[in-house]
């Protein structure tokens, strides 16, 4: 053997040794898609031998399991057009190893010296990963079903005329379907002497855990609403409850719970007179749209619940005349974004006045659609509103308990 030929063989052996260290199976194919060589991992994974692999057409390996027209076309194009392809998926019952999912990647290269075109083809077994992804997807779908079931009572839509003397309308828009369920919720609660409590809440977080926490929060708040009629007292006790719960959760004493702050807007309205009081915990300021289109903004503000112990919340009074509408909203509306500009409270007021020409449902739709349009069709955060409009006929309240 001449010295140059010996050196060539040494290079081939050297290259083969390098290829054999690669854990994923590899094949070297010529321009006719015939196997020139394979690495050790190929023989181990596919349980075959060099005698049954080298100099064989790629399409006959494994009893023809790779004879896939689309794959063959990709391989030929890779050689003839200096191309590449990545992550071509092949799923099947492979001889000797059973059901597998393989990802194939191909690169064209040229043999040193004579420039002969070759093809490097790698195989990655992603069966375990695909199985885990399928299991995770199934779990996520199950979580989505549970979360959506929890969402229904959190966003219960009362009949518009459920409370005589007061029409109520709600609307909700989720920022993303991938979020499963957001942290927004609302509630209505009627006392036996003609007052109605309206609640709009925003809990940080998404998903099943957040939905469970929000459901518990809503029922806890109902208990405080039943016990205390004044919004400032209700929010004070809710804040104490959440602050202590958050502390115990953070310290690991309680294994279930949340340390996320909770924002609440709470209004209590006397249906017969239209007189109301409200208090805010970290929520957007309420808006009143008068029947003639004028607007008022009751000055109310307060820290989110669960942040500061012994926090006191100031309640303010307001008056609804016939045709006046109270609007409670989350920041998903005012923070609708167009470039560097936000819709803000001014934009919400503009949309509310525009929608005031129609019924309460039309006003809700005008606000929500206007926020979407401003944001280019997609909101960045969940958005919710609760509207309450006093009707022309003031009811004479009978003493009975309503609990919608």
The whole-number pLDDT of residue 6 equals 47
Instruction: Kindly report, residue by residue over 126-151, the tens digit of the pLDDT.
Output: 999 988 888 887 877 776 666 666 66
Instruction: Please tell me whether residues 172 and 44 are part of one structural domain.
Output: no
Instruction: Please tell me whether residues 89 and 233 are part of one structural domain.
Output: no
Which residues, including other chains, have CB under 8 Å from residue 312's CB and lie 6 or more apart?
232, 236
Instruction: Please tell me whether residues 173 and 297 are part of one structural domain.
Output: yes
274 pLDDT more than 90: yes
pLDDT band for 207, please (50, 70, 90 cuts): low
Instruction: Please tell me whether residues 106 and 173 are part of one structural domain.
Output: no
**Stronger pLDDT, 393 or 325, i.e. the higher one:** 325
**Stronger pLDDT, 117 or 4, i.e. the higher one:** 117
144 within some domain: no
Give percent of the chain above pLDDT 90. 52
pLDDT band for 172, please (50, 70, 90 cuts): confident
The whole-number pLDDT of residue 33 equals 94
Domain end among 110, 125, 140:
125
pLDDT band for 84, please (50, 70, 90 cuts): confident
Instruction: Please tell me whether residues 95 and 229 are part of one structural domain.
Output: no
CATH code of residue 67? 3.30.450.20
Instruction: Please tell me whether residues 97 and 158 are part of one structural domain.
Output: no
Mean pLDDT throughout 220-241? 93
Instruction: Please tell me whether residues 360 and 227 are part of one structural domain.
Output: yes
131 within some domain: no
10 pLDDT more than 60: no
Mean pLDDT throughout 175-193? 74
Other CB atoms closer than 10 Å to residue 110's CB: what's the count?
A: 11
26 within some domain: yes
The whole-number pLDDT of residue 373 equals 94
The whole-number pLDDT of residue 57 equals 95
Instruction: Please tell me whether residues 370 and 308 are part of one structural domain.
Output: yes
Instruction: Please tell me whether residues 103 and 166 are part of one structural domain.
Output: no
134 within some domain: no
Q: 220 near 262, Cβ under 8 Å?
A: no
The whole-number pLDDT of residue 399 equals 44
Instruction: Please tell me whether residues 271 and 318 are part of one structural domain.
Output: yes
250 within some domain: yes
Distance set, CA 245 to CA 104, 199, 223, 248 (Å)? 52, 21, 16, 5
138 within some domain: no
334 pLDDT more than 70: yes
pLDDT band for 320, please (50, 70, 90 cuts): very high
Task: Provide the domain limits for residue 120.
Answer: 3-125
130 within some domain: no
pLDDT band for 13, please (50, 70, 90 cuts): low
Instruction: Please tell me whether residues 240 and 366 are part of one structural domain.
Output: yes
The whole-number pLDDT of residue 11 equals 46
Instruction: Kindly report, residue by residue over 279-290, the tens digit of the pLDDT.
Output: 999 999 999 999
340 within some domain: yes
CATH code of residue 316? 3.60.40.10
Whole-angstrom distance, CA of residue 23 vs CA of residue 124: 9
Instruction: Please tell me whether residues 155 and 276 are part of one structural domain.
Output: yes
């Amino acid at each position: 053997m001449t010295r140059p030929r010996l050196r060539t063989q040494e290079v081939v052996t050297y290259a083969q040794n390098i290829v054999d260290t690669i854990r994923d199976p590899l094949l070297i194919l010529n321009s006719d898609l015939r196997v020139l060589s394979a690495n050790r991992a190929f023989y181990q994974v596919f349980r075959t031998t060099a005698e049954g692999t080298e100099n064989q057409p790629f399409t006959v390996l494994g009893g023809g399991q790779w004879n896939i027209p689309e794959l063959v076309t990709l391989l030929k194009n890779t050689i003839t057009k200096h191309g590449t392809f990545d992550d071509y998926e092949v799923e099947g019952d492979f001889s000797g190893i059973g059901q597998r999912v393989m990802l194939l990647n191909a690169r064209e290269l040229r043999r040193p010296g004579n420039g002969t075109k070759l093809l490097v083809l790698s195989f990655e077994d992603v069966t375990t990963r695909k199985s885990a992804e399928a299991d995770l997807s199934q779990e996520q779908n199950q979580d989505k079903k549970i979360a959506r079931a929890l969402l229904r009572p959190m966003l219960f839509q009362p009949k518009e005329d459920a409370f005589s003397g007061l029409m109520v309308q709600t609307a909700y828009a989720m920022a993303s379907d991938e979020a499963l369920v957001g942290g927004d919720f609302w509630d209505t609660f009627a006392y036996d002497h003609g007052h109605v409590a309206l609640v709009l809440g925003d809990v940080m977080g998404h998903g099943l855990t957040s939905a469970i926490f929000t459901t518990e929060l809503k029922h806890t708040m109902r208990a405080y609403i039943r016990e205390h009629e004044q919004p400032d007292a209700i929010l004070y006790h809710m804040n104490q409850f959440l602050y202590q719960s958050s502390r115990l959760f953070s310290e690991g004493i309680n294994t279930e719970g949340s340390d996320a702050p909770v924002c609440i807007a709470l209004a209590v309205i006397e249906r017969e007179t239209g007189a109301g009081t409200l208090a805010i915990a970290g929520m957007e300021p309420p808006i009143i749209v008068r029947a003639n289109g004028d607007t008022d903004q009751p000055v109310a503000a307060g820290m989110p619940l669960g942040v500061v112990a012994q926090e006191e919340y100031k309640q303010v009074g307001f008056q609804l005349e016939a045709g006046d509408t109270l609007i409670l909203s989350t920041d998903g509306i005012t923070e609708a974004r167009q470039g560097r500009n936000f819709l803000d409270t001014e934009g919400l007021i503009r949309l509310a006045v525009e929608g005031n020409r129609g019924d309460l449902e039309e006003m809700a739709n005008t606000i929500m659609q206007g926020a979407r349009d401003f944001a280019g069709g997609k909101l960045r955060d969940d958005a919710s509103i609760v509207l309450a409009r006093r009707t022309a006929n003031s009811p004479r309240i009978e003493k009975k308990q309503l609990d919608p």
